[in-house]
Structure 1
Amino acid sequence: MARQKIELNGLLAFPLTPFTDDLELNLDAFADHVEGHLAAGAGALFIACGTGEFSALGPDELSAVLRTARDVVNGRVPIWIGAGGGAAAARSGVAAAEAGGADGVLLLPPYLVTGPPAGLLDHVRYAVADTSIPVIFYQRASGVLNARAATELLDIPSVVGIKDGHGDIDLMSRIVASVQAVDTDFLFFNGLPTAEVSQRAYSAIGVARYSSAVHCFAPEIAGRFYRALAANDTAAMDRLLTGFYLPLVALRDETPGFAVSLVKAAARLRGQKVGGVRPPLVDPSPEQVNRLEKILSDGLATVRELD
């Protein structure tokens, strides 16, 4: 089977998964949230991934989220969905994504255990067996490849890219160079939290695509940074970093899991009915929400000044 050539361009959005006050899935709010991403110009949606609290969702909930997204999107942009965990869970998740009509799968790292690069390759082979849906391997935590193993992913036709959440620029540079020497169509993504902060460094090594969680609550800011990056407008990028992204990252780093919790809190500040986070994540304190509100206000003001 030949490798599919996949086009994923523009701002890649990673929607939240809304919950009710008692932490049940809120599909009506999810539908509104997805429509908001589309209205703001998202080039593709990656649902139920890290920002979408994949690890907190059951198989039936994942299926319901995918059905809802497909109904709302109606073919306007590609829909990718998270799968992962242990070997059996990853395999069933990939199969369910294909059966549910997703355009692709973001394969999250194995659960709990850590294996060598050869074992990770076997994990991917096992997860995608008997399916043909395109898969992007999410490199982070317990799933980190070396350059040789990354190149061997090319032997798995359904694997079309690597998203890097590990953050080792030296390693990623070697991976990109090694893979592109064989296949220039293979895709690479920056998947670090608040990826805009590191994206200039990733762009310099050939990783042009990135995930924007900020698009969930401030597409004005996410879109302005994306345009500045495309134009190599360093002055505008620096203004957005100092006026918004760096203060947001400082607040994010105060508490484990805030890469998701703060995004949900900011979405609530902007009137979205996304609810709180499921445990073990925690919502920010009132004092932290007050600081978040100021950071968001300053970021929006920075966009207005730039425009």
Structure 2
Amino acid sequence: MLDGVLFFPVTPFTESGDVDHARLAEHIVKGVDAGPGGVFVACGTGEFHALAVGEFGRIVATAVEAVGGRVPVFAGAGGSVAQAKEFAQSAKANGADGILLLPPYLVSMPPAGLVAYTKAVADTTDLPVIVYNRGNARFDAAAAAEVAQFPTVIGFKDGTGDLDNVGRIVRAVQDALAPSGKNFLFFNGMPTAEVTQQAYHAIGVTLYSSATFAFAPELALAFYDALQEGNTELVNALLRAFFHPLVRLRDTVPGYSVALIKAGVTMEGIPAGPVRAPLVDASPADTRELERITAAGRAVLADALAAGAVRR
């Protein structure tokens, strides 16, 4: 159902704070034209945490219309169990192809509670569900294997970076599903996933979300292809010139994993507007640094293209 680089659009807002549906549609059409394997709308990069259910439904409908069936559209769901059910139902009603189940907010929970939360939301709709392991929602191997056997759960996305635990989860899930032959997907969901993907790939996690795709899809696709083809020289060059500097800039301010992406989308010609509180917008100086980093990445790619080292 999903392959290749996964596109997580931002949610553009007007200066008055409303969702800008025209810009959202433009942003998604441009992204899908670049060739992702799927669109994940109103998720982390799309500021799910700041959306009302009514806004969310219209965002999903806009995305579905803009994509036009070219690739699957997944939408976020999360918050309290009651809220998560509402978002899941809205995603279904507005044409989404699946759900990314985000962590409940604030509360810490044992694995058994996380299993119960996942089941409660998954039972609300027949849409395929990808569970997200991060923050306060941390699965152990037994809990991951249990939810993987729910009929509609099709994938597991990790945002913890705990490769020891993830490796055990991959093994446990594959063993649990072997008798049924159920297909199951594993995703790297770390911020700026490219910098950790070599390690994830080694433990069987081949899919990942790319925030970079939202504003520089050619860099995201070139990295993906280079990694798949074993082009270590280009992988390292892109990490050195673009992805590692981007992570260093991202880590200077909490929430920049969203704010910088919105700045990048605006930088590339689609005004994405401000982020919503409690996030803060990228400063002018940091936006200029993002421009410099992006130009450096594109210079690496141009050199590789001139040398015939890449297909795109």
User: Above 0.5 in TM-score?
Assistant: yes
Structure 2 match to 1:207: 205
How far apart, in 1, do the equivalents of 2:252 and 2:124 lie?
Answer: 43
Q: Tell me the TM-score normalised to structure 1 length.
A: 0.96
Q: What are the superposed Cα offsets for residues 107-157 of structure 1, whole Å, 9 maximum, x if unpaired?
A: 000111111000000011111224211000011011000001101113311
Q: How many residues align?
A: 301
Contact 2:58 2:94 in 1 (8 A): no
- Deviation of the 1:302 alpha carbon: 1.0
How far apart, in 2, do the equivalents of 1:146 and 1:27 lie?
Answer: 39
Q: What are the superposed Cα offsets for residues 25-57 of structure 1, whole Å, 9 maximum, x if unpaired?
A: 000000000001111011110000001110011
How far apart, in 2, do the equivalents of 1:270 and 1:99 lie?
Answer: 32
Structure 2 match to 1:242: 240
- Deviation of the 1:99 alpha carbon: 2.0
How far apart, in 2, do the equivalents of 1:206 and 1:198 lie?
Answer: 13
Q: Which runs of 5+ in 1 are unaligned?
A: 1-6
SS at match of 1:181: helix
Structure 2 match to 1:114: 108
Structure 2 match to 1:139: 133
Q: Which runs of 5+ in 2 are unaligned?
A: 306-312
**The one of 249, 253, 256 aligned to 2:254:** 256
How far apart, in 2, do the equivalents of 1:264 and 1:72 lie?
Answer: 19
How far apart, in 1, do the equivalents of 2:282 and 2:68 lie?
Answer: 35
% of aligned pairs identical? 48
1:90 aligns with 2:84: yes
Structure 2 match to 1:297: 295
Structure 1 match to 2:308: none
Give me the CA root mean square deviation. 0.9
SS at match of 2:91: helix
1:18 aligns with 2:12: yes
Within-5 A mapping of 1:1-307 = 7-183=1-177, 185-307=183-305
- Deviation of the 1:15 alpha carbon: 0.6
- Deviation of the 1:205 alpha carbon: 0.2
How far apart, in 1, do the equivalents of 2:61 and 2:279 lie?
Answer: 26
Structure 2 match to 1:4: none
Q: Tell me the TM-score normalised to structure 2 length.
A: 0.95
How far apart, in 1, do the equivalents of 2:55 and 2:252 lie?
Answer: 30
> Which AA in structure 2 matches 1:204?
A
Deviating 4+ runs (over 6 angstroms): none
